[in-house]
Amino acid sequence: MSLFRRAWLWAALVLVSGLLAGLLAWAAFPAAVLLGPMIAAMAFSLGGVPLEVPHRAFAAAQAVVGCLVAVTVTPATLAALGQQWLPMLVTIVHIIISGAVVGLVLILRGVVPGSTAAWGASPGGAAAMSIMAESYGADMRMVAFMQYLRMFVVVLTASGVSRLLLGHAVAPPADRALSLGLDAPVLPLALTLLVIACGMLLARRLRVPAGTMLLPMLLAAALNASGLLRITLPAWLLWATYACLGWYIGMRFTRCTVRHALRAIPQLVLATFLLIALCGIAAWMLTAWLGVDPLSAYLATSPGGLDSVVVIAAGSGCDVPFVMAQQTLRLFAVVLIGPQVARLLCRFDARRRGIKETAGNRTGR
């Protein structure tokens, strides 16, 4: 393919991605900046357009996502953990186990394979889970599809619970001028980019699975929580990161993958409601244990996107710091514990398949 044609195709992809992201954002769809490019790249891929995201660009996007997770770890979050560490720890463990149970159900029902079920059912961090899934051999496309389908269902459900069941109407977010973040402070931004570069270099040397995201995340979290560095991620950097991730995932879709994903939607939606119900038990635990109001407890344990849940919490008059602290700690825990949960479910799936094959061979004899 000529350089001119490739540049023209990339320009077309950027334009379509921007239009789709804008439409999704206008419709208040969660993660619109990532989903728009992903849908656009999927359409280009299914149409036979041969484009590919460079590996270094994808690695840089992973590192930025790691820093984005690290930003949520603040002194206030650590203070909340110190004051109420046992109830928060118990509910976080409960929610992680609930995600594993839902993944197990998906395996037993034959909806998706073990590793894909483990990462797709993981409660929180959709972008992070999609990135880590590929590093551990799962189908990144199905994981992303499962994660963002669940996010959409969870956000709608949380809004409905807030408005109908608990009597709180969600206030629309205040109008804000569109900003690229070009006025971001130069020194913190430069140091943040240095953290990203150092994390990527260290991950390349150590060859840790998903290290391109995990090592910058741990380094940035330590600096951010200690107050040594204010991690700065301007809008233009986040938009470029989400676009890169969306294109990388979308370009890997095939007609077969799309057909399988569409057929699995009913079972995946049911699995999402099962996870919401299991997380509801954790909300009841917080209400009974700490006396937290039901809405705050529900939103704190909701297995959806952190940003979307916090917006709902802010517009519903509930305990936003508590919701933020609980969601942040769970996100960090899921990213760190996710590989172990995935390994356990993969071993179970492999053992189950082995038993089935052995039984089939005996029957054949």
Burial class (CB in 10 A: 0-12, 13-18, 19+), 87: middle
In angstroms, the CA 337 to CA 342 distance is 9
Query: What is the number of other CB atoms lying within 10 angstroms of the CB of residue 284?
Result: 15
Residue 363 lies in a domain: no
Residue 309 lies in a domain: yes
Determine phi and psi for 308, rounding to 5 degrees. -65, -40
Residue 362 lies in a domain: no
The answer to whether the CB of 251 falls within 8 A of the CB of 41 is: yes
Give Cβ neighbours of residue 110 (< 8 Å, ≥ 6 apart): none
Q: What DSSP line would sit under 102-145, residue for residue?
A: HHHHHHHTTSS-HHHHHHHT-SS-HHHHHHHHHHTT--HHHHHH
Span 292-321, pLDDT tens digits: 888 888 888 888 766 667 666 666 667 777
Question: Which among 336, 328, 331 is positioned nearest to 81, based on CA atoms?
Answer: 328
According to the model, what pLDDT value does residue 192 have?
93
Can you list the alpha helix ranges (DSSP code H) found in 109-254? 114-120, 126-135, 140-160, 186-206, 211-226, 235-250
pTM (global) more than 0.85: no
Residue 141 lies in a domain: yes
> What is the number of structural domains in the chain?
1
Calculate ∠ Cα 335-96-116, nearest 5°: 65
Residue 175 lies in a domain: no
The answer to whether the CB of 328 falls within 8 A of the CB of 306 is: yes
Q: Per residue of the chain (365 residues), give pLDDT as tens.
A: 678 888 899 999 999 999 999 998 888 776 788 889 989 999 999 888 888 888 889 889 889 988 888 887 777 777 766 777 788 889 989 999 999 999 999 988 888 877 788 888 888 777 778 888 877 778 888 888 888 888 888 877 877 776 665 555 555 444 444 567 778 889 999 999 999 999 999 988 887 767 888 889 889 988 988 888 889 999 899 999 989 988 998 888 888 888 888 888 899 999 999 999 999 899 999 888 888 888 888 888 888 766 667 666 666 667 777 887 888 888 888 888 888 888 888 888 888 777 766 666 666 55
Location of structure tokens 């057929």: 263
The answer to whether the CB of 30 falls within 8 A of the CB of 305 is: yes
Residue 282 lies in a domain: yes
CATH of the domain at 285: 1.20.1530
Domain limits for position 273:
3-170+181-351
Residue 119 lies in a domain: yes
307: tokens are 């940003």
Q: Is the dihedral of CA 252, 255, 258, 260 positive or negative?
A: negative
Residue 316 lies in a domain: yes
Please count the residues of the chain: 365
Span 119-171, pLDDT tens digits: 888 887 777 788 888 777 788 888 888 888 888 888 778 777 766 655 555 55
Strand (E) positions, the chain?
A: none
According to the model, what pLDDT value does residue 167 have?
55
First vs last C-alpha separation in the chain: 55
In angstroms, the CA 241 to CA 281 distance is 35
Question: Which among 74, 58, 210 is positioned nearest to 129, based on CA atoms?
Answer: 210
